[in-house]
Amino acid sequence: MKEKQTIIQLPKFLDARGNLSVIEEFKDIPFQIQRSHWIYDVPGGEVRGGHAYKKTEEFIVALSGSFDVILDDGKECKTFLLNRSYYGLYVPAGVWREMENFSTNSLALVLSSTKYDANDYIRDYEEFKALKNEKE
């Protein structure tokens, strides 16, 4: 599925007992969830990411706190502030990403469309740019 990077609002069940949000594959996000991981205890000033994936699509939610996700599709860079647990950022394959400005106690949930495969990473920015130029 060729979707663009975008913020997706999630269902929100407001309740005096506490609120609830939900993510269903193919309904709220455009892929099947093969893997979940989360990033926590990020020291102040640290930057995560710094890579692209060849095939993997991701959906990123700030379950707690806030952070910025910077996406670079080879043409332009966009910064997305994630700071609520009822929306997230869909990141298609082939997009360079960095995550920074993590607040204290922030918790980033990342859902992925693939099983972990170190070979799916592009960790060299020049290689990323070259691949993007090839495809044009």
Q: Would you tell me which residues interact with ligand TYD (CB under 6 A)?
A: 35, 37, 39, 48-49, 51, 116
Q: Min. distance of Cβ 57 from ligand TYD in angstroms?
A: 13
Q: Which is nearer to ligand TYD, 35 or 55 (CB)?
A: 35
Does residue 1 sit in helix, strand or coil?
coil
Q: Alpha-carbon distance 125 to 75, whole Å?
A: 13
Instruction: Kindly tell me which of 96 and 132 has the beta carbon lying closer to ligand TYD.
Output: 96
- Pick the closer one to ligand TYD by CB: 13 or 40: 40
What value does the CA radius of gyration of the chain take, rounded to a whole number of Å?
A: 15
Is 37 known to be catalytic?
no
Would you please indicate which residues are annotated as catalytic (active-site) residues?
51
